[in-house]
Amino acid sequence: MIDTSLNLYNRVLEEYFTGEQSIAAKMLDRGYLTKPAKTAGFAGKDYLTDQSLYVHIVNGVFAVTRLLDYLARTGLYQLTEAEFRTALAMYTNHDLHKVPEAERGKRGEFDVSLDAFREEGEALGLFDFADVSPEQMRLGMMHLNKKMAGDLSAVPTNTSKLMSIVRLADSLASIQEPSAYKGLAVDLNELSPRLIGRFKFYHHELNEYRGLTTQLLHLCIGEILEKRYQCYPLFYFANGVMYIGPAEMPDNPLSEDIVTAISKNFFATIQQKMQRIGGKVAEEALNPQQTVKFEQYAYLFSNVSQLLDSLASYANRKAPKRFISDLVAKRAEKRPSFASRFPTPAVFCQYYESIPEPKTTATLLQSGGQ
């Protein structure tokens, strides 16, 4: 039976990343954060950006896990926990050929010895984490090489399937723009014939991005696209998001009603995030020089209640002294029912949730110094 929850993958990822003895911690201890996986301008590839081995591996682990989770949700494809662990272990060592000190033979960069894979696997704790062999790890590296091939005769029969997972993880981790998913569909189809023609990769991209508000906009767009079109967010970038979704999609997915829904969701999300300080923003945005108007930015960060509270507070501060006391006294003289309901200005203020007047000397004398 297909387990469509993230529980299986989450348990494994938690072990992979959590604690001083985790694989992630051991990668840091071994200097993976300073060892290059991608280097800007390497071999004439000016489009590359610097990416450490650690960042490259972590990006691939998270991205391929999200992809596998999506496929599990569809009921079409899922790894067992043992297979998932083995695939992660193979992927963790897939770039060992980029480590200069790794032992290798005479046939070039990819001729890394099994002893080197065994040594690195032991140092990272991969053999305790997964049922994996040095031969499988070397095969995980070999998918990158067009001149050399690994030996499948010395590994379990499901290793070729796990090599496809490693290839996908590596491709995902190497993507630098949300639109750069050309070729991913081919790698995806290698996992199972049941996946062929069912899914496509999509993206949204912003021309301008700034920081926190851009991140919130990405989340809002992703939420709407997932809810309406089953586009599942796979990878987040500074300027966009890459998705996987059904192969069949409406001709004009970003119709006017979708744009409106995204806008409403975006503003509601910002107000929710800013709820704690929205009142303060409203007070500071109040412009008494323009007949009590708010600066435009207040409507982004403050809700209606906070704006009204700010106006009420301003009105109370600007009201003449003893305004409420005089008002209550005059109405009480003319309307006995009002006098019975509001015997004092304090009761009036409490009922209407207004700020009580400060007690002046005259007020204190009238109340007997209470």
What pLDDT, on the 0 to 100 scale, is given for residue 293?
80
Identify the pLDDT of residue 317: 67
Q: Is the dihedral of CA 130, 133, 138, 143 positive or negative?
A: negative
Distance, C-alpha 140 to centroid of its chain: 29
pLDDT level of residue 12 (50, 70, 90 thresholds) = very high
Q: Over range 230-253, report the average pLDDT.
A: 86
pLDDT beyond 90 at 130: yes
Q: What secondary structure does DSSP assign to 44-100, as a single string?
A: G-TT---EEHHHHHHHHHHHHHHHHHHHHHHTS----HHHHHHHHHHHHTTTGGG-T
Where along the chain do the CATH 3.30.1370 domains lie? 198-273
How far is residue 120 CA from its own chain's centroid? Answer: 31
pLDDT band at 22 (very low <50, low <70, confident <90, very high): very high
Distances (CA, A) of 27 to 53, 85, 97: 9, 17, 16
Residue 320 has pLDDT above 90, yes or no: no
Instruction: Quote the pTM value.
Output: 0.71
The token pair at 258 is: 């979708």
- What number does CATH give the domain 198-273? 3.30.1370
Q: Which of 314, 256, 260, 267 is nearest to 286 (CA)?
A: 314
How is residue 298 written in tokens? 């207040």
pLDDT in tens, 350-368: 887 776 666 544 443 344 4
Q: Which residues contact 65 (CB under 8 A, 6 or more apart)?
A: 9, 13
